[in-house]
Amino acid sequence: MGKKYVYLFSEGNADMRELLGGKGANLAEMTNIGLPVPQGFTITTEACNRYYADGQQIAPEIEEEIFTYLRKLEEITGKKLGNKENPLLVSVRSGARASMPGMMDTILNLGINEDVVEVMARKSNNPRWAWDCYRRFIQMYSDVVMEVGKGYFEELIAEAKARKGVKLDTELTAEDLKELAFAFKAEYKEKVGSDFPTDPNEQLMGAVKAVFRSWNNARAIAYRRMNDIPADWGTAVNVQMMVFGNMGDDCGTGVAFSRDPATGENTLYGEFLMNAQGEDVVAGVRTPQTIDQLHETNPVAYEQFAKCAKDLEKHYKDLQDMEFTIENSKLYMLQCRNGKRTAFAALKIAVDMVEEGLCTREEAILKIEPNQLNSLLHPQFDPAALREAVPVANGLAASPGAACGGVYFTSESARDAAAHGPVLLVRNETTTEDIEGMAASQGILTATGGRTSHAAVVARGMGTCCVSGCAAVRINEKEKYLTVGGVRVNEGEFMSIDGSTGNVYVGKLPTVDATVSGDFATVMAWADEIRTLGVCANADTPRDAARALELGAEGIGLTRTEHMFFDLDRIPVMRRMILSDTEEQRREALAQLLPMQRGDFEGIFKAMGGRPVTIRLLDPPLHEFLPTTTGEMELLARDMGKTLAEIEDRCKALHETNPMMGHRGCRLPVTYPEIAEMQAQAIIEAAINVNAECGYSIVPQIMIPLVCEVRELRYVKNIVTATADKVIAQRGATLRYEVGTMIEIPRAALMADAIAEEAEFFSFGTNDLTQMTFGFSRDDAAKFLPSYYEKNIFEQDPFEKLDQSGVGQLVEMAARKGRATRPNIHMGICGEHGGEPSSVEFCHRVGLDYVSCSPFRVPIARLAAAQAAVKNR
Amino acid sequence: MGKKYVYLFSEGNADMRELLGGKGANLAEMTNIGLPVPQGFTITTEACNRYYADGQQIAPEIEEEIFTYLRKLEEITGKKLGNKENPLLVSVRSGARASMPGMMDTILNLGINEDVVEVMARKSNNPRWAWDCYRRFIQMYSDVVMEVGKGYFEELIAEAKARKGVKLDTELTAEDLKELAFAFKAEYKEKVGSDFPTDPNEQLMGAVKAVFRSWNNARAIAYRRMNDIPADWGTAVNVQMMVFGNMGDDCGTGVAFSRDPATGENTLYGEFLMNAQGEDVVAGVRTPQTIDQLHETNPVAYEQFAKCAKDLEKHYKDLQDMEFTIENSKLYMLQCRNGKRTAFAALKIAVDMVEEGLCTREEAILKIEPNQLNSLLHPQFDPAALREAVPVANGLAASPGAACGGVYFTSESARDAAAHGPVLLVRNETTTEDIEGMAASQGILTATGGRTSHAAVVARGMGTCCVSGCAAVRINEKEKYLTVGGVRVNEGEFMSIDGSTGNVYVGKLPTVDATVSGDFATVMAWADEIRTLGVCANADTPRDAARALELGAEGIGLTRTEHMFFDLDRIPVMRRMILSDTEEQRREALAQLLPMQRGDFEGIFKAMGGRPVTIRLLDPPLHEFLPTTTGEMELLARDMGKTLAEIEDRCKALHETNPMMGHRGCRLPVTYPEIAEMQAQAIIEAAINVNAECGYSIVPQIMIPLVCEVRELRYVKNIVTATADKVIAQRGATLRYEVGTMIEIPRAALMADAIAEEAEFFSFGTNDLTQMTFGFSRDDAAKFLPSYYEKNIFEQDPFEKLDQSGVGQLVEMAARKGRATRPNIHMGICGEHGGEPSSVEFCHRVGLDYVSCSPFRVPIARLAAAQAAVKNR
């Protein structure tokens, strides 16, 4: 027997979502629990995939199966498609596994033709309704199946209303609608070149194909990418007996939620229209009424609906989003699904439902989308002000939050101005040299660069609002102004940016601080109880560390030491160190940097109150620290007693073709061991000092980056341990410390068994690991990745969500090999993926000990980790 | 029972080379087959590794074992170390698994002290000999064990000779030598601060430690790296009873080969010195005699030696390199090993030995070092002229051969001048734009860039001689001259470069063409019979293809299509294509390129006479084709009807931070499908044309580079097949073609099972795979790799020899996964590793179908493949 491609509603259930789509599965479930659902059948997602595999054809055996089920539906309903006595009309609607509202197509009233419409008019004694159904069907079918477009028909309706001098569609008479139907058919013939199909079977197959086709329309592809829905899921098609909201004033149609999806309040929320069909609610010509008004209009239907809503909530243990139709005062449920909600509502609903005994804590936390918490953690624009404001441009929503401040075009000017008021740093793109200005700013706006550009990555790390790649902004740095959308904004004048939408405004928009209700704390406490995966933060400063702690981090998984050298008082010393001719000169400069580094580490150790801190040795290529302007080079030349030409030559010699794969990471101490010596000394001294001062027993974790070979790690580790042991002995202190490595180069993952001989811990640097496993330079991939999304090659940005099938193999392999060598090795992830929910779940599954992410993503990671624990129990 | 660390010669054999080192194993083998070997024992390589593991200490149990074996040796010889009646003297010599001649240390005459020397003088009645032994021992021990240096002692000898008015050491009397011995001891005490050790046991342990220590001296490390000898092999130590070549005129010592190692002729070849110890032969103060003169000097010893040589050749089935000593006319064999030989000799000896019935063809081909063939495949300088010539500078030996020509400093001028005579292209470094000039030149000389720089890689591919990274060369391109070593050379004046040594000469040095004797052809024919691995070539032009065929390639494994676009008549069209604003403009430019590409492919198909040809679609980032000078940009602007600023902007926009991981390979046709369409059309049309014209049945292999995901491959493959099928249909032709992919990104290897669903073949691009697996940019790694060798982190350049433990895992995994999906998939390697013997063996072992390498390495790969087949039978 072949595969079954069609299911009656009564054959399915809610667990069959993959096969029947969300809508189909829920229609089946509602049927099973006895709710009033007009019956029908579902054509599976597998039929959709077959359709594409067969070159956009429906195979004959599937077509046959569809008609077999149509006959069954006719038996159930006692009506027949195209029959002149008792005609069946059906709706044909898409239904993917994941909800994709409005992305795909729907056809109502299918099965109607000139014979049927007459029967309907006669039997209902309501010719206006019958002709309304017919003209609606012609309109929808033409648009959806034949892709004629809606515009022509809308014009015809407008003309008809103008001729009659009426405003609303409902004011048109049966005769008007009949005329319109004929006009529509003529229009169809002109556009398509053949008569409008009268055979209901032909109509049905055309509609099914159109729904399958709509799975790959442009807006569906875009929606899938934004919501990480794989292209190979396909959509199901639901064929359902029509019930009519447009038969008169005891009829209507509506959409409602079982609770308020904005606030979470436990009260029905939605709207409806009497004497209307589905699309009228959305079209906005008539203003719908709110759902409580239904109580007055039709109390019986209201009570039926309210009971259905409660029953469904109890059944699904979640907020329900429902569609219904009232036909002659009788309620029919057309759809239900778990409702989308704001972060605020999500938290309240979760806490309320647990209190109401509707679900357990474990069930409740699964209902909150972790990424949504983001919006609760950053300031936002005052909604009232936002309604009035018109953006002048739109860039990429690179780091969430809202910011308003005077614009400055250099890191220095931003830093200086920040003493006097809020500041926005506006640059074509930022570099590591801009760190100070970025840290001093309320928000960062760049003209170029993607969501993974330097500005975006650093801003997210800092929790600072950022809009990147806003090409409309043109900066004249020399004359200190920018133009955007025809407006000139001078240095110091105010602009506002929204890092959650990418919108850019000229002028001041007031912001409101994030409010975190008690529900938030409650949910986080549950998450911490449930999760087994640790959550740490990436933090480079005491300020970041303190924020991480506030947001629930258990330690610091990554402290980058490079940002520390960009301060104005440090960068000249750093540059002298880099351009030294001899080891002796280099050691002199390093000796000057030592107390500064020690101070940095003391600050972080104190901020973390004795919790674990992992510090990574210097990672970026040295040339990132070098001056780029002639002025800076001249200064440095004077400082070092060299000629400008000598400095220029050295800077040029340090240039690299592919700096990402160049002289950086542990390759630096292999050539210049004294750099690692200084850093090890600073870390160990800081730990000894803070332990002594505060009575902590910090065990610093020293992390060696970019290792590809165990002997390389051993060489650098020996430098670190020799220095550390010497310092400990000199100070007469007792201090335990650990030396571990980043696993961020494919070869390190492949050789993890050998590397674990030396490494006491692994930290997966999935940013670099992703770059090298894919061969994608993060800085350059923005040029071609859009084509990859458009062409369905990639559904997600591998820099945002960990590529579990490719990069994940390396992570899993390294974890396995590492443990084989050193069973008690501890492992975490410190790439940006550490705060992304699906990646957090992956880390839980492969048995890592912790994830580490930017402080503002810590609550997200805590929730995601708890969800992972529940899902993988 | 513990591990055994010491073996008598009679306990070992030739197969114990890993444990006993080459020298020890061969001494044992010679002992076993009854040759006259002074007896002794070998301390194993494992003892050396223990020494390093124990922090450069010899463990007490090993020391004890050494003395146990010393006692056994004393029993065998009937002499005793330090004994005043019958003293035993021993030599202490290193002996690694692989021969490392002169790299480590040797001490002779150990066991001597003031008492023993008197006994020796008395018993031998030869005080001169006794004191000569003593002064030699003091000198060697001071140098080797205490690292005092030889210079002081040499001065003392020189002074003594001057005082006596004699020239040769042999003219010094017993009394002179005694004085010298005391002077040496005084010198020792001054330098070391303590008396010279008189206890023979102490001397022995000091010498053993010194030999272990010498495993890690600078020259040993450098030698290991050049010869790919792992640091963890360690060295054994041989302690052997002394026999004396310095006891009088019926004594002597010598070194000889069983055949001529330069020509391969079957005649003893070597030299000896009467009344001398080993180091005198090397020292060059007295001129040694040739081995046939021994026939006259001491016919008995000569006959003994000639017989030993034949016996050893028969036993080892290979050319022998032997050390011997004659003591009172009796021959002693001190060492034998398989001899190093020239490529020419290697071939002749292999063929002769098979003819002589000494060994089989399989055994014979194992005796030829494949890399040596290189020297037979390129022109060389006339040896006579070379003896006179003095190099002015030395760069890196980047591509073998010798070249002489007028110097030119730009690709254009070199190309133009090449019409009138031989040319050398001299550049700071070359880029893809220099291809034409490089192709027109006899040789290439660059001031910067390593052995894997663009110049080096391309030159090797072309088989053109290249010296790279010759820092002494300073080019003034504008004024058209260079200076090197104080000499100025103007454009057009002659220089000569030797790509096999890196030497650079001013002026003309005559070259001689490579001569390939009949033996070469014989050996290659044997190799082809034996090997199972296919050997193809990388070739981009009909000329290269023809050369590849001559050298035995079975097909083309890689045709790069990018070099084809650098010709003067093509690059403007290519640039217009790249800078097009619309697809239409791009298609116009591509239409112009189409006939050129088709012509290229027709040429290659014809040159290959119907053999398989794999063509890779465009691979490099587009900006590599763009103009770099303002002049060129202006030309292009005029050509395209744009402003200079527009062209500059577009070129700037195409700049990438890490171009190696940027917008290139299959990422180009994902964004611009029309490029792949043009190339597919050109390939298919060319194949149809050549098949029709020549009656071939070429099956073109179209290769899609830089794939990381099956859907990416599918997308580009669909473009290729749609185009190909259309062309075939339009032409009414029958043509089979295959579409495959490069596996050169780590993720492609990880996902090879999925990728094989679409790929009909895999070609491992191990150059890029190595870059991304290690995270090493080839262009930048030269900055830090020297530190890696120096610090024993790497022993080999992973771009030269395939990293079997890391990158190899990916190759093996991809091969396995690919076959699981598509059992008949064919696979090869087309990185530069394809012509490197150890990598070829790896490819054989993991079951690839073929290797592909530059034409000049084809014979090397054929031999290496045959050796792999024999070794892995």
Predicted ipTM?
0.82
**Chain B residues touching A780 at Cβ < 8 A:** 656-659, 661-663
pLDDT of residue A1: 53
End-to-end Cα separation, chain B, in angstroms: 36
Residue A671 Cα, gap to closest chain B Cα (Å): 6
pLDDT of residue B86: 92
**Chain A residues touching B753 at Cβ < 8 A:** none
Q: How far is CA B306 from CA B75, B231, B258, B340, B512, in A?
A: 31, 37, 8, 19, 36
Neighbours of B645 (CB within 10 A): 10
Could you say which of A830, A843, A844, A853 is catalytic? A830
Residue B718, exposed/middle/buried by CB under 10 A (0-12, 13-18, 19+)? middle
Residue B663 Cα, gap to closest chain A Cα (Å): 7
Chain B residue with CA closest to A805: the answer is: B751
pLDDT of residue B585: 92
Supply the pTM of this predicted model.
0.82
Question: For the CA atoms of B94, B97, B99, B102, what is the dihedral angle to 10 degrees?
Answer: -20
Residues of B belonging to the active site? 454, 830
The contacts of residue A411 (CB under 8 Å, 6+ apart) are: A425, A433, A434, A435, A436, A437, A438
Interface test with A, best of B750, B789, B802, B813 (most A CBs within 10 A): B750
Interface test with B, best of A448, A772, A805, A817 (most B CBs within 10 A): A772
Residue B423, exposed/middle/buried by CB under 10 A (0-12, 13-18, 19+)? buried
Interchain CB distance below 8 Å, B660 and A658: yes
List the single residue in A661, A773, A805 with the smallest CB-CB distance to B776: A661
Say which amino acid occupies A534: G
Cα–Cα distance for residue pair B309/B510, rounded to 1 Å: 39
pLDDT of residue A284: 54
Interchain CB distance below 8 Å, B771 and A715: no
For residue B365, the Cα-to-chain-centroid distance in whole angstroms is 18
pLDDT single digits (tens) A345-395: 899 999 999 999 999 999 999 999 998 888 788 888 887 788 788 999 999
Stated as kind and residue range, the H or E segment containing A538 is strand A534-538
The contacts of residue B609 (CB under 8 Å, 6+ apart) are: B549, B694, B696
The phi-psi region of residue B149 (left if phi > 0; otherwise alpha if psi is between -120 and 50; otherwise beta) is left
* Over residues A146-157, mean pLDDT: 84
Chain A residue with CA closest to B787: the answer is: A671
**Chain A residues touching B745 at Cβ < 8 A:** 773-775
pLDDT of residue B770: 97
Q: What does the DSSP 8-state code read for residue A269?
A: E
Interchain CB distance below 8 Å, B783 and A663: yes
pLDDT of residue B244: 92
* Over residues A616-627, mean pLDDT: 91
The phi-psi region of residue B748 (left if phi > 0; otherwise alpha if psi is between -120 and 50; otherwise beta) is alpha
**Chain A residues touching B809 at Cβ < 8 A:** 750
Interchain CB distance below 8 Å, B658 and A663: no
**Chain B residues touching A657 at Cβ < 8 A:** 659-660, 777, 779-780
For residue A209, the Cα-to-chain-centroid distance in whole angstroms is 31
Residue A811 Cα, gap to closest chain B Cα (Å): 12
Chain B residue with CA closest to A777: the answer is: B661
**Chain A residues touching B799 at Cβ < 8 A:** none
Instruction: Compute chain B's Rg from CA coordinates.
Output: 32
Cα–Cα distance for residue pair A868/A123, rounded to 1 Å: 57
Cα–Cα distance for residue pair A140/A106, rounded to 1 Å: 8
Interchain CB distance below 8 Å, A793 and B768: no
pLDDT single digits (tens) B381-433: 887 788 788 999 999 888 888 999 999 999 999 989 998 899 999 999 888 77
pLDDT of residue B331: 96
The contacts of residue B399 (CB under 8 Å, 6+ apart) are: B444, B456, B459, B460, B463, B464, B465, B466, B499
Using alpha carbons, select from A560, A613, A540, A557 the residue that is nearest to residue A843: A557
List the single residue in A656, A667, A805 with the smallest CB-CB distance to B751: A805
Interchain CB distance below 8 Å, B807 and A774: no
Could you say which of A378, A454, A563, A826 is catalytic? A454
pLDDT single digits (tens) A56-90: 999 999 999 999 999 999 999 999 999 988 999 99
Q: With a cut of 70, list the residues of chain B below it in pLDDT.
A: 1, 102, 279, 281-286, 452, 461, 513-517
DSSP per-residue codes, B294-319 = HHHH-HHHHHHHHHHHHHHHHHHTS-
pLDDT of residue A7: 97
**Chain A residues touching B670 at Cβ < 8 A:** 784, 787-788, 791, 793
**Chain B residues touching A719 at Cβ < 8 A:** none
**Chain B residues touching A671 at Cβ < 8 A:** 783-784, 787
Tokens 């640059």 belong to A427
Residue B250, exposed/middle/buried by CB under 10 A (0-12, 13-18, 19+)? middle
pLDDT of residue B282: 56
Residue A55 Cα, gap to closest chain B Cα (Å): 14
* Over residues A820-831, mean pLDDT: 96
Active site residue A454: yes
DSSP per-residue codes, A545-595 = HHHHHHTT-SSEEEEESSGGGGSTTTHHHHHHHHT-SSHHHHHHHHHHHHH
Say which amino acid occupies A544: D
Cα–Cα distance for residue pair B332/B527, rounded to 1 Å: 39
3-state secondary structure of B812: helix
Interchain CB distance below 8 Å, A715 and B793: yes
Interchain CB distance below 8 Å, A751 and B806: yes
Query: How is residue A415 written in tokens?
Result: 């830093």
Interchain CB distance below 8 Å, B784 and A711: no
**Strand partners for B718:** none
Interface test with B, best of A52, A649, A773 (most B CBs within 10 A): A773
Backbone angles phi, psi at A113, to 5 degrees: -155, -170
3-state secondary structure of B80: strand
Is the pLDDT reported for residue A223 higher than 90?
no
Handedness of CA A686, A689, A690, A691 (dihedral sign): positive
**Strand partners for A761:** A826
Backbone angles phi, psi at A16, to 5 degrees: -95, 30
List the single residue in B747, B773, B780 with the smallest CB-CB distance to A658: B780
Query: How is residue A648 written in tokens?
Result: 């220029």
Chain B residue with CA closest to A768: the answer is: B775
Scored b (16 or more CB within 10 A) or e, A4-23 reads ebbbbbbbbbbebbebbbbb
Return the percentage of chain A with pLDDT > 70, whole number.
Answer: 98
pLDDT of residue A113: 95
Interchain CB distance below 8 Å, A656 and B745: no
* Over residues A542-570, mean pLDDT: 91
Question: For the CA atoms of A45, A49, A55, A61, what is the dihedral angle to 10 degrees?
Answer: -60
List the single residue in A667, A715, A793 with the smallest CB-CB distance to B712: A793
pLDDT of residue B644: 92
For residue A657, the Cα-to-chain-centroid distance in whole angstroms is 34
- Residue B739 near residue B704, CB atoms below 8 Å: yes
Give the full edge-to-edge strand order of the sheet including A235-241.
A6-8, A40-43, A235-241, A90-96, A106-110
Number of cross-chain residue pairs from A and B with Cβ atoms under 8 Å apart: 164
Interface test with A, best of B221, B232, B658, B753 (most A CBs within 10 A): B658
Q: How far is CA B86 from CA B71, B74, B117, B292, in A?
A: 14, 10, 11, 36
pLDDT of residue A282: 56
The contacts of residue A398 (CB under 8 Å, 6+ apart) are: A451, A453, A455, A456, A459, A460, A466, A467, A468, A469, A499, A502
Chain A residue with CA closest to B805: the answer is: A751
pLDDT of residue B281: 64
Query: How is residue A359 written in tokens?
Result: 């679900």
The contacts of residue B768 (CB under 8 Å, 6+ apart) are: A775, B660, B706, B742, B744, B745, B831
Interchain CB distance below 8 Å, B774 and A747: yes
Is the pLDDT reported for residue A792 higher than 70?
yes
Interface test with A, best of B712, B793, B796 (most A CBs within 10 A): B793
Interchain CB distance below 8 Å, B777 and A657: yes
pLDDT of residue B4: 96
Worst-scoring range by mean pLDDT, A421-435, A606-620, B539-553?
A421-435
